Amino acid sequence: MSQDAKTDVRRHGGEDRDAPLEAVEADIDANKFGETESRLISYLADHPDSSRAYYDLGFVQFRIHKIGLSIKDLSKSLELNPNNAEAHKVLA
């Protein structure tokens, strides 16, 4: 994923700045997927309406080859925010 696409992804949800998500997204940018999946699952337990977190989780799952889970979480992201072009691209 290009840096421009990554930057665009951060803006997709229209959600305000969120330090925990920004920290996770920095790890995603650095291809550090090991802990990010569990951190995002924990985040979503407290923020179940975050399309941005569902997108990030789906993207991480896609990158670690958990395709079924990735489809489920990217779909949830799109349910919450159907305008997320990057989620549509990854899901396709």
Q: Can you give the residue range of the structural domain that contains 55?
A: 3-91
Q: How many domains does the structure of the chain reveal?
A: 1
Of the pLDDT bands very low, low, confident and very high (cuts 50, 70, 90), residue 5 is very low
Give how far the C-alpha of residue 81 lies from the chain's centroid of Cα atoms, to the nearest Å. 12
Query: Which residues, 6+ apart, have CB-to-CB distance to 69 below 8 Å?
Result: 58, 61
How many Å apart are CA 65 and CA 22, to the nearest integer? 23
Cβ contact 2:22 at 8 Å: no
User: Residue 16: what pLDDT?
Assistant: 60
Helix-strand-coil split of the chain, %, nearest 5: 70, 0, 30
User: CATH number for the domain including 71?
Assistant: 1.25.40.10
CA distances from 54 to 49, 59 (A): 9, 8
**pLDDT at res. 91:** 87
29-82 pLDDT, tens digit each: 999 998 899 999 999 999 999 999 999 999 999 999 999 999 999 999 999 999
Hey, how many other C-beta atoms are within 10 angstroms of the C-beta on 83?
11
